[in-house]
Amino acid sequence: MIGQFSEDTVRVFAAELGCALGFLHDFGVIHRDVKMENILLTDNGHLRLADFGLSRRLERGGRAFTICGTIQYMAPEVLSGGPYNHAADWWSLGILLFSLTTGKFPVPPEPDHCSMLRKVRSFPYEIPLSFSSQLSLLLSELLCKTPSRRLRSLDRFKRQTFFHQSTFDLELMQRRPVEVILELRERPDRAAKARRGLTLSLQPLKGFDYDSLLSPPPTPDPQLDMSTPSGTLAPPLPGPPRQLPQENRARREVFV
């Protein structure tokens, strides 16, 4: 179904993103904006975590207070203005995995932090009955509202039953393509759904002049005489060249 993935596919995505977060946290970096829009795909469908514009150095035991990120992915301690630490990234990963599996967010986004915080704190985060017990357990530990009790380390992440008989060896994972992504790439409507604006590569209408749409309109030349044939310059007006007043010349020399 479009908009959601099977648990087998989510398992691969979760393992790769968990490794990415573990790598960053070991180097004292908190991402603070883990979300779908910041996940890139390789040709074989594997994930790359991108956009470190909100990231910052935060050593183990450090605390941050800046309210930043994307509101529907933000942990409750981030929404409240801190203090928070690397555990906030694992909460965002839980929201992401929930969304990949269901096709929707566990809590609809609110327009401001205060109302979103109230909803997050009061929401029970009920796991759909369609989820396996292993995935339900993983999400319940990632979406724990108390940061100190939340799953917040790669070692604990790897020990989850959801990853039983799965590998966290990135080299081995990269060798096997993610089949569902390759299938989606071959869909006939992929180009129309993925494009942003009109592109020449699609060419859905034969003989249509795309250049007239993609090229900016020409800037009218004031020296062109509209009564003359197209492209012919009108003769210059008689008389001496116009001189700027002394005051304007001085002002022009200052700002040019």
Residue 96, exposed/middle/buried by CB under 10 A (0-12, 13-18, 19+)? buried
Closest CA to 93 of 35, 22, 155: 35
Tell me the DSSP string of 36-92. Answer: GGGEEE-TTS-EEE---TT-EE--TT--B----S-GGG--HHHHTT--B-THHHHHH
Q: Is 89 a catalytic residue?
A: no
CA–CA dist 134, 122 (Å, integer): 25
CA 243 vs. chain centroid, Å, equals 56
Please write down the HEC assignment for all residues of 170-202.
HHHHHHCCCHHHHHHHCCCCHHHHHCCCCCCCC
The structure tokens listed for 1 are 């179904």
| Residue entry with tokens 């930043």 | 68
Please tell me which residue in 33, 43, 89, 209 is annotated as part of the active site. 33
CA–CA dist 221, 199 (Å, integer): 29
CA–CA dist 200, 203 (Å, integer): 6
CA–CA dist 90, 18 (Å, integer): 8
Residues serving a catalytic function are 33
